[in-house]
Amino acid sequence: MAAVGNVPRAEYPRPQFRREEWLCLNGTWSFVFDDGDVGLGADWVERLTQAAPEGRIVVPFPYQAALSGIGDRAVHSVVWYRRAFHCPAAWRGRRVLLHVGAAGVRTEVWLHGHLLGGHEGG
């Protein structure tokens, strides 16, 4: 496993499709289990954006893995991840593609409180 500083798996994830400009978002993220599936109704999108995070996870590892910093083998059907980052200045005004690898059955991506899109399927 390659690591740069505290960023695990910092190498380009798909070398056969390498892009010249890219940003690795692996590392420590805010994380919380939502076992009651109440997050959307309770406006967790806003809460996780403004409040102190409830937990931490090391991405790209799943919460079940010890390397994630959590190592919880229980089934949790809804989990929330949050990460702040800055796009490089050269990317401003350009279309930015976000790859979410190994997402669950349903995944939604939010930016500044706005739903950007989602995916359903394994």
The predicted structure's pLDDT at residue 4: 52
Total length of the chain = 122
The predicted structure's pLDDT at residue 64: 95
Residue 58: band (very low, low, confident or very high) from pLDDT cuts 50, 70, 90: very high
Residue 52 has pLDDT above 60, yes or no: no
- Name 26's Cβ contacts closer than 8 Å, sequence gap at least 6: 7, 8, 9, 10, 59, 60
Backbone angles phi, psi at 91, to 5 degrees: -90, -10
pTM of the complete model: 0.82
